[in-house]
Amino acid sequence: MSRQMARYARSGAWSTVAYAVQVVGALALSVVVVRALGETRWGVLSEVRQLVRLCTVLGGMALERSLLRFLPELLQKGDRGDARSLFWKTLLLRVLFWAPLFAASWVFGGALDRLFKVPLASTAMIGVATSLVFSLYNHVRAAATARFQTRTVAVGTAAGSLATLVGTAWALSRGGGVDAVLLMAGAGMGLAALLLLPAALGRGTVMTESEGKEPGFSLRDPRFLRYAFPFAGVAVLNYVVHSATEVFFLGHYHGPILAGFYVLGFTFAQRFIDFLPMALWEVSMAGFAEVTVRDATRLPLALAGYLKMLYLFLLPLACLGVAFSPSLIRVLYGEAMMPSALVSQAYFVVGTVAAIGAPVGMIVYARDRTFSALKAYVVFAAVNIALDFILIPPLGLWGAILGLGLAKLTSVALMSRIAWNEIPELQIPWRFLGRTLLASLPVLVWLLVPLRHLGVFTVGVGGILALGLLVLTFRGLRVVGPEESSLIRSTRLPLHRPFLRLLGASATEAADPSSL
């Protein structure tokens, strides 16, 4: 494995650690919040959080993706001053984009009350205010990741998640409600942004200035404009496709309780199934961009390696999720939230299939095909909204599940077509995926255990037994071969050698990267 690929793998490992901390913190936080607020107030919070995410997307206009695309290129050329200029100018743009959204939340608060049939105006203003903090955090984190300062990102993210959890638990114990949860989330992400700012600016890193470099980078640069503006549209449409419209339709037609059930089930599965795609997105986007500049012929190799690492983790996790979602939701959140289990199981399946879209999308963006991606997103956002409008009023949760699933599959098909037209040599390691899926399916036997017999202890024991079964099937089918062993070793994650030995793979023997 080349030095550059090993660098991406190590950076990806630290990004995974950072996102893992976020997932664990978010899971613990959701248990505290759901049990403290109850079904109705949790549903209200779910609706407002969707507004927060919408404002974060509209206010940020996907500028963090532009940082991930152009910062590595500027740093590769040694343009340190231009890199900082890009950071600060795009940060200012975020604030300017956000200001009208806050004003709109104040002017149209009454319309929100009428739309969702519950009082949301004052809470929505608080949510929109915190969306600026989330937007700034995304910006600073992306800049730090583009410099491959992923260890610092992991530490800063952990501190922010811990602060959010502790602050929220304290506020709820003092009688706080939905507003307090939103404020504590903003405070935690604000702390994380401050901790990551030095790394985002490149302090503590050594860089050399290139001689005779090109004139300073400008936001009016045609390449930046061709990339950033379509990506902003893609970000908004991507938000539409990822559960947002379902929550709004459910809230309008069926009330906050059903919307809350959907959000809990969706986010419970999403935290796990989108774990690696989200954890690796930023560093992989920066890596794909750098590979494109250095040697674009290595993109098929990068895609194959990414997919093997992704689905080695994702397929067994998806099977575990389908098997254990009902029992875990019952134990963690209580019997009243059991309708969420159906949504969770469905997304474990849909999200696994759709995860292939993450690396495919990175290649499309790294090749500056953002206008093509924008056209594709327009199509499947339209499909998503149309399906929600048709299915959710009569079918409720089932309609939301079907609409989201069909939209996700449409998005993967269209983005894959763009990527393969751009680089026909791209390949999917189907044989490896088949072995991994076959080794993962036996854990579904847990679905045969009646829920009424399950508690914390029995679910814990069942989880341990399921993991043991996975070890046996992965060893028996020899899922992890020399190529996969080489990829895992290159991450240098703690305990990677015992992990490889556990699965019956070599922890030391090198493999030929060309075989990937």
Q: Are 308 and 516 within 8 A, CB to CB?
A: yes
Residue (of 451, 448, 506, 447) closest to 482 by Cα position: 506
Angle at 442 between CA 440 and CA 443, to 5 degrees: 80
Q: Is the pTM of this model over 0.75?
A: yes
Nearest Cα residue to 42 out of 222, 264, 363: 264
Please report, in angstroms and rounded to a whole number, the separation of the first and last CA atoms in the chain: 10
Collect all residues with Cβ–Cβ distance below 8 Å to 272 and sequence separation of at least 6. 23, 317, 321, 348
pLDDT tens-digit profile, the chain (516 residues): 455 545 555 555 666 666 777 788 888 999 999 999 999 999 999 989 988 888 888 888 778 877 877 887 777 766 677 778 888 888 998 899 999 999 998 888 888 888 887 888 889 899 999 999 999 999 998 888 888 787 788 889 889 989 999 999 999 999 999 999 999 999 999 999 999 999 888 764 444 444 444 444 556 666 676 667 776 777 777 776 666 788 889 988 998 999 999 999 999 998 888 776 666 655 555 555 555 556 556 667 777 777 787 888 889 999 999 999 999 999 999 889 999 999 999 999 988 888 877 677 666 766 667 677 777 778 878 888 899 999 999 999 999 999 888 888 887 888 788 877 777 777 788 888 899 999 999 999 999 988 777 888 899 999 999 999 999 999 888 888 777 777 677 656 566 677 778 777 765 544 443 333
CA 356 to chain centre: 13
